[in-house]
């Protein structure tokens, strides 16, 4: 099942805090480290909880969750 856990990405030298991650988007960050992306979310996703985590070579963000309304 998807959720919190550990998923290693040896090519980036990181371990994610997610058990079964899926690539959602790619974004470039500015010189302050701010980046953004947009996703299409199907209506069938309403009511689901999702987790996101950013990754770059050698570094990951904290996993953050949200509820789709």
The Cα–Cα gap between 20 and 38 comes to 21
User: Residue 10: its pLDDT value, please?
Assistant: 97
pLDDT for the residue numbered 1: 60
Mind listing the pLDDT tens digit for each residue in 41-65? 999 999 999 999 999 999 999 999 9
Name the E strands within the chain. 4-9, 14-18, 49-52, 55-56, 59-60, 64-67
pTM, whole model, 2 decimals? 0.78
Q: How many percent of the chain have pLDDT more than 70?
A: 99
């Amino acid at each position: 099942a998807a959720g919190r856990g550990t998923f290693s990405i040896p090519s980036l030298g990181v371990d994610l805090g997610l058990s079964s991650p899926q690539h959602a988007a790619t974004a470039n960050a500015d010189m302050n480290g701010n980046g953004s992306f947009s996703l299409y979310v199907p209506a069938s996703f309403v009511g689901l909880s999702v987790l996101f985590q950013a990754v770059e070579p050698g570094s990951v963000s904290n996993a953050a969750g949200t509820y789709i309304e």
